Amino acid sequence: MPGTNLTREEAQQRAQLLTVESYEIDLDLSGAQEGGTYRSVTTVRFDAARTGAESFIDLVAPTVHEVTLNGDALDPDEVFKDSRIALRELLEGRNVLRVVADCAYTNTGEGLHRFVDPVDNQAYLYTQFEVPDARRVFASFEQPDLKATFQFTVKAPSGWTVVSNSPTPEPKDDIWVFEATPRISSYITALIVGPYHSVHSVYEKDGQSVPLGIYCRPSLAEFLDSDAIFEVTRQGFDWFQEKFDYDYPFKKYDQLFVPEFNAGAMENAGAVTIRDQYVFRSKVTDAAYEMRAETILHELAHMWFGDLVTMEWWNDLWLNESFATYTSIACQAYAPESRWPHAWTTFANSMKTWAYRQDQLPSTHPIMAEIRDLDDVLVNFDGITYAKGASVLKQLVAYVGRDEFFRGVQAYFKAHAYGNTRLSDLLGALEETSGRDLKAWSKAWLETAGINVLRPEIETDAQGLITSFAIRQEAPALPAGAKGEPTLRPHRIAVGLYERDEETGKLVRDVGVPPAEGWGRVELDVDGELTAVPQLVGRRRPAVVLLNDDDLSYAKVRLDEQSLAYVTEHLGDFESSLPRALCWASAWDMTRDAELATRDYLSLVLSGIGKESDIGVVQSLHRQVKLAIELYADPAGREALLTRWTDATLAHLRAAEAGGDHQLAWARAFAATARTPEQLDLLEGLLDGSQSIEGLAVDTELRWAFVQRLAAVGRFEETEIAGEYERDKTAAGERHAATARAARPTPEAKAEAWSSVIDSDKLPNAVQEAVITGFVQTDQRELLAPYTDKYFEVLKAIWDTRSHEIAQQIVTGLYPTIQVSDETLTKTDTWLTSADPTAALRRLVSESRAGVERALKAQAADAAAAE
């Protein structure tokens, strides 16, 4: 949206001038059922450093009726421009500003989002303010270091519930008056309003009592497993309060599952909003429960790191998110009686894979990125901010020691409670508790971009004893267009030595076995181009040597030739899930880097996936194989690979344990690429009940997976899709039906889907995402080819006229990723040269272009392997 940017320089100047004391916000939401606009009245009390100074407050609103500064009425037409209200002739000391405006409900997931549930036709509201969207609801100094107290008064329709950061009061005449919050940043304030269903409990320990609430729409209430959610929440309270040595800092803790949420969740102080897809309507695998638990714990960790202590400016966003990511997974891995003690396996398999992918794009940047303005922040919620940052934080913990790390964190919270900090504040606390100088570590890891590769160099004698062992570190050239230079970094890693246990047939690592036996683990610091490992000289060469065992560091790892050959045949034989995940990740990375042909990657997966017990890893392999075949395979051999893969998915589906997680995962994998008449007949038969697979419950969500595939291949038309929607006339059903309609392989269906997204801005964010998902079908390349030119024709106008969330969906979702050709690269380059896009838009398009370039190289490698 034009005129809504804020530079860091402007924020610094405003912070030097102003100290904000309090907000009083009065919202009339009594007309929310009908939508449109609502009255917003904001009173802000703030101090200015000098008389006569000028500043501004932020507001995105269709109409401003009144602006009163220190009792003087200002002309809104004169002072309200470009989403800012100019404040002139400020007084030294206390100033009082009152703003009366009409603000607008949104359907984009930004500001105050309004959703109407098709089940009960009731409206449900929630706010989403990160990064700069509190200003869509009330006038605010929209930057994290201008903290204040916030007191909300809300008029709502009779019978509705209103939830905010402070404890929920009893309403009087449908008016809800909340007590003021502690000093917090504007972006973590929140309002959730509507006829929500709720379940309540209390966290109690050592005299502490914190009210807990869980909310969702009534249409989801039957699926709300509140006991499981409370269990994870209590686990987090126990573990975080012990590790942080600081009591939960707010008066209550509500978790609200809300519709059409753009992200996973948001850490509003005491009122966390979570996407309501985490209220599972159908059977899901344990991986989904693990992911939900990580999200719950991630947001709870933010109550301390982010909400209690907040970054001064958005260049430390990485630390905010990385800390929450690291501690949430550490809680899952280490908390007593956790259901997910192998959480670091999931981290290695998903989070780090995301980080490695992001770090090889032309937009790669240092973890501590230079954030010049809000536009930079909005595209910086990426794999480096979250996943690479958390990976490096995990290495930092290994470097300073876990106990020393948490002692530093404890000192940090006590010193900076309810304030704002910079990275140096945390590193200083860690230096105090660990005795390590972290300046060089910080410079190497946080201020440089790119990824390192670690390779073992092993020599043995005729008896198989190691005569020389070294670790070579490489710093590949950064992608074209990326800023910075390749950097060799210090790594704290473990080297795992794995041998086959003759009794069990498993690959194991036994630390207790004497060195002469050749098994075990060595932990060391790797620095520079070549690091000798003399501890391993004289040991018997094991079957597999695994660098970065236990996944301590952030680096791409390669297996030596002998280890790779053994792993290719026996990857599924590792006794522990983490080394399996590390080997799977290495193989996938080699495939993406065109070092391993897609056909060979498929063979590797098929040889080992049947022995893979970790369901999260299995589901990731399903996604990766499908992507590899569709984008990285030689087009001439793609259909044969798809046939081979689909046949395997069906065989695994039929062989899987009845009613188990693996059966469900294989059913979804099979549905994703079913292609022969017999396979499609099976999908139809499973839908209408004429065929069955023992233990497989074809419930609501699985039905939609089958329907969408049948629509994509032309088996199901509007009649069948509409009939399925009648069975599931819910918000989720609406989205699934939109995907199915857009997936149909006809020019008319594609034109209709394209028009609904491009020619109109009426689609809600979640429905638009569903349409885009259905529109892009990898086996419809020829049908979609004409839309490449259409995409570049409308791209800049979309970016200039739609909100950030909506525009980003379109830019990334409709880029012609599946048109893997030099022609696509040329058209992209022509547009980048001629369109003069903003930095944020250029970044998104360049990232998509890099995907096509990578796919071309991988296809060439696969074709060479075929020859």
The predicted-structure confidence for 414-435, as pLDDT tens digits, reads as follows 999 999 999 999 999 999 999 9
For residue 542, give Cα distances in angstroms to 70, 261, 372, 519, 545.
Answer: 78, 49, 51, 7, 7
Q: Are residues 810 and 732 in the same domain?
A: yes
Is 299 among the catalytic positions? yes
594-613 as b/e, with b when 16 or more CB fall inside 10 Å? Answer: bebbbbbbbebbbebbeebe
Coil/strand/helix, residue 230: helix
pLDDT of residue 422: 93
* Residues with Cβ within 8 Å of residue 142, at least 6 apart in sequence: 6, 58, 132, 134, 135, 186, 187
Is there a contact between 273 and 128 (Cβ–Cβ < 8 Å)? yes
Q: Is 299 helix (H, G, I), strand (E, B) or coil?
A: helix
- What is the tens place of the pLDDT at every residue in 92-127? 999 999 999 999 999 999 999 999 999 999 999 999
Do 234 and 183 share a domain, yes or no?
A: no
- Residues 342 and 866: their CA atoms lie apart, in Å, by 38
Q: Which of 404, 419, 450 is the last residue of a domain?
A: 450
d(CA 60, CA 346): 40
Q: Does a structural domain hold residue 623?
A: yes
- Print burial letters for 459-496: b (CB count within 10 Å at least 16), e (below 16): eeeeeeebeebbbebebeebbeebeeeebebbbbbbbb
Q: How far apart, in whole angstroms, are the C-alpha atoms of residue 610 and residue 138?
A: 55
Which CATH number do you get for residue 131?
A: 2.60.40.1730
* The two three-digit tokens of residue 764, written as one number: 């809600």
Is the pLDDT confidence value at 348 over 90?
A: yes
User: Residue 494 corresponds to which amino acid?
Assistant: A
> The domain that contains 423 carries what CATH number?
1.10.390.10
Extract the tokens encoding 264. Answer: 């996973």
Q: If you average pLDDT over residues 503-512, what whole number do you get?
A: 82
Q: Is-contact 140 58, C-beta < 8 A?
A: yes
Q: Residue 519: what pLDDT?
A: 63
CATH at 528: 2.60.40
Instruction: Specify whether 508 is located in the same domain as 416.
Output: no
Compute the distance between CA of residue 217 and CA of residue 119 in angstroms, rounded to an integer: 10
DSSP letters, 764-789, are -HHHHHHHHHHH--GGGHHHHTTHHH
Please give the pLDDT value at position 404.
97
**Distance separating alpha carbons of residues 864 and 855, to the nearest angstrom:** 14
| Dihedral angle sign, alpha carbons of residues 194, 199, 205, 208 | positive
Whether 438 shows a pLDDT value over 80: the answer reads yes
Spatial distance between the Cα atoms of 221 and 276, rounded to a whole number of angstroms: 11
511 pLDDT band, cuts 50/70/90, is low
Q: What's the pLDDT score for residue 510?
A: 73
Residues 225 and 247 in one domain: yes
Rounded CA gap, 840 and 1, in Å? Answer: 13
Q: Does the residue 137 lie in any domain?
A: yes
> Domain for residue 820, yes or no?
yes
Confidence of residue 514 (pLDDT cuts 50, 70, 90): low
**pLDDT at site 1:** 38
Q: What is the pLDDT of residue 797?
A: 97
Cα 433 to chain centroid, rounded: 32
Residue that is last in its domain, among 422, 450, 478: 450
Cα 498 to Cα 519: distance, rounded to the nearest angstrom: 6
Q: How do residues 788-816 score in pLDDT, each as one tens digit?
A: 999 999 999 999 999 999 999 999 999 99
Distance, CA of 110 to CA of 809 (rounded, Å): 13
Q: Does 505 reside within a domain?
A: yes
| Percent of the chain whose pLDDT exceeds 70 | 99
Q: For 705, which DSSP code?
A: H
Read off the pLDDT of residues 448-462 as tens digits, 9 standing for 90 and up.
Answer: 999 999 999 999 999
Tell me how many degrees the CA angle 24-26-29 measures, rounded to the nearest 5.
155
Q: What is the DSSP letter of 759?
A: T
DSSP state of 571: G
Task: Return mean pLDDT, the chain.
Answer: 96
The total of other beta-carbon atoms located within 10 Å of residue 743's CB is: 27
Pair 289, 343 in one domain: yes
Same structural domain for residues 307 and 428?
Answer: yes
Q: Report helix angle 423-434 to 402-416, nearest 10.
A: 130
Place of tokens 């903290």: 147
Shared domain for 347 and 424, answered yes or no, is yes
Question: What gap in Å lies between CA 472 and CA 147, rounded to an integer?
Answer: 48
**Domain annotation covers residue 210:** no
Q: What is the mean pLDDT of residues 490-510?
A: 92
Single-letter residue type at 848 = S
CATH of the domain at 600: 1.25.50.20
Q: What percent of the chain has pLDDT over 90?
A: 94
Indicate whether 616 and 544 sit together in one domain: no
Identify whether 845 is part of a domain.
Answer: yes
| CA–CA gap between residue 214 and residue 216 (Å, rounded) | 7
Domain boundary among 421, 450, 479: 450
Q: What is the mean pLDDT of residues 574-602?
A: 95
Q: Phi first, then psi: what are they for 776, rounded to 5°? A: -90, 100
Indicate whether 296 and 429 sit together in one domain: yes
In angstroms, the first-to-last Cα distance of the chain is 51
Chain centroid to Cα 290, Å, comes to 14
Domain count along the chain: 4
Spatial distance between the Cα atoms of 296 and 232, rounded to a whole number of angstroms: 8
| Residue 711 sits in the same domain as residue 746 | yes
Consecutive H or E run containing 453: strand 453-460
Q: Tokens for 334? A: 């280490």
Could you tell me which residues come within 8 angstroms of residue 405 by beta carbon, excluding any fewer than 6 positions away? 396, 397, 430, 433, 434
Residue 320, beta-bridge partner list: none
pLDDT tens by residue, 822-839: 999 999 999 999 999 999
Query: Is the domain of 759 the same as that of 651?
Result: yes
pLDDT band with cut points at 50, 70 and 90 for residue 58: very high
Crossing angle of the two packed helices 402-416 and 389-400, in degrees rounded to 10:
110
Provide the strand spans (E) within 132-187.
149-155, 161-164, 175-177
Residue range 194-211, pLDDT digits in tens: 999 999 999 999 999 999
Give every strand in the sheet of 530-532, ordered side by side.
530-532, 466-474, 453-460, 556-557
Residue 536 structural domain: 453-553+555-566
Q: Looking at 299, 612, 805, 847, which residue is catalytic? A: 299
The pair of structure tokens assigned to 600 is: 């060979």
The pTM of this model reads 0.96
Q: Same domain for 677 and 741? A: yes
What's the Cα-to-Cα distance from 209 to each of 25, 164, 247, 269, 334, rounded to whole Å? 29, 19, 11, 17, 24
Tell me the per-residue pLDDT of 631-657, one tens digit each, with 9 for 90 and over. 999 999 999 999 999 999 999 999 999
Residue 215 in domain: no
Domain assignment present for residue 216? The answer is no
**Sign of the four-CA dihedral 42, 198, 116, 803:** positive
Q: Specify the length of the chain in residues.
A: 867
